[in-house]
């Protein structure tokens, strides 16, 4: 009997079709917790592109493998999966280029907003448009602090340093920082940075890392860019800081709550650019992520251990259990 694989969302058509050659593909009707729990109940594996309910595995006795169509596994109850012997894998590095390019685009947009120049030229006058540029700064010579200097942070740091930016890095493992990146404490990074990029995982240590106290310690007018997770920032503290100008600009790809409803105060804040968790999504990355997710899942189904398994204890548990049966 062919394995049944649940897709929480559609993946790239070419690779979804390829997956269907090897397994029975089940596509969730929607991503509500009730629908996902029901769909997972009689599936052997799943590819995840949305947040799973915490109890998604409780009534899914056949579930063996879960592959994240991306990097962050906070969308998946990994601890519970491990307890049940369900193997979870992700795709590290698959969207590094896309997220790095988004962060760069954000930095450029804040410092050299050429769309605003164009709009002023068309709607007002040549002189008005030209005057806007005198209010903006070069990136060269500025200081950028990166919190969480993993694959994305390292790639971003290399590009910024080549442009003449001083890069500060705050990470749990300062010995891994690229040459030229200055390892600093959290407090020093807040104090010195003109731009702060959040590229860290969300965990107990980073939840609301950027709170009222941290914002008060930042340079007045700082630019804040979040490509990490929404809850790294306490938005109840960010909103008044944007309104007062303590935070001069914010570019947020991720939010708290994760999906904006249209009622949040952040939507009416000045000097704010908001996107719908799109930093890692391009046509290029969608194809790459789907290809790697399918290849990884098929390898797991075929009994091949993968370096991208995030809970190796579950792999051992699964194979010990099935070797005895």
pLDDT tens-digit readout, 286-319:
999 999 999 999 999 999 988 999 999 998 886 6
Q: Shortest CA distance to 230 belongs to which of 193, 266, 181, 179?
A: 266
Domain ranges of the chain: 4-94+283-324, 96-274
CATH class of the region 4-94+283-324: alpha beta
Question: How large is the angle between the packed helices 283-301 and 96-111, nearest 10 degrees?
Answer: 160
The whole-number average pLDDT for the span 130-144 is: 95
Enter the pTM of the model.
0.90
Task: Say yes or no to pLDDT of 324 above 80.
Answer: no
Structure tokens given for 259? 């999906």
Return the CATH number of 96-274, one of 3.20.20.70, 3.30.70.260, 3.30.450.40, 3.40.50.720. 3.40.50.720
> Closest Cα to residue 171, out of 200, 131, 194?
200
pLDDT at 30 over 90: yes
Distance CA 100, CA 249 (A): 19
Among 171, 114, 111, which Cα is nearest to 147's? 171
pLDDT of residue 1: 78
């Amino acid at each position: 009997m062919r394995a049944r694989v649940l897709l929480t969302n559609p993946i790239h058509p070419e690779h979804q079709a390829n997956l269907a050659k090897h397994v029975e593909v089940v596509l969730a009707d929607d991503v509500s917790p009730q629908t996902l729990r029901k769909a997972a109940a009689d599936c052997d594996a799943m590819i995840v592109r949305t947040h799973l309910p915490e109890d998604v595995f409780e009534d899914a006795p056949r579930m063996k493998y879960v592959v994240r169509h991306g990097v962050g596994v906070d969308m998946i109850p990994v601890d519970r999966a491990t307890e049940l012997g369900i193997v979870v894998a992700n795709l590290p590095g698959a969207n590094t280029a896309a997220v790095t390019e988004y962060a760069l685009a954000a930095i450029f947009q804040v410092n050299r907003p050429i769309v605003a120049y164009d709009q002023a030229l068309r709607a007002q006058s040549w002189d008005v448009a030209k005057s806007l540029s005198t209010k903006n700064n070069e990136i060269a010579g500025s200081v950028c602090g990166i919190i969480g200097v993993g694959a994305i942070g390292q790639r971003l740091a290399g590009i910024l340093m080549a442009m003449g930016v001083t890069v500060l890095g705050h990470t749990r493992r300062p010995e891994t920082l690229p040459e030229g990146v200055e390892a600093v404490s959290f407090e020093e990074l807040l104090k010195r940075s003109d731009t702060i990029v959040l590229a860290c995982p969300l965990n107990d240590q980073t939840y609301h890392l950027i709170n009222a106290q941290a914002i008060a310690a930042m340079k007045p007018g700082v630019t804040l860019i979040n490509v990490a997770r929404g809850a790294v920032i306490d938005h109840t503290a960010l909103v008044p800081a944007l309104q007062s100008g303590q935070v001069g600009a914010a570019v947020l790809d991720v939010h708290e709550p994760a999906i904006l409803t249209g009622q949040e105060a952040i939507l009416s804040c000045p000097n704010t650019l908001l996107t719908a968790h799109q930093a890692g999504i391009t046509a290029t990355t969608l194809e790459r992520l789907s290809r790697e997710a399918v290849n990884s899942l098929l390898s797991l189904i075929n009994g091949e251990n993968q370096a991208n398994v995030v809970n190796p204890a579950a792999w051992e548990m699964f194979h010990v259990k099935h070797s005895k049966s």
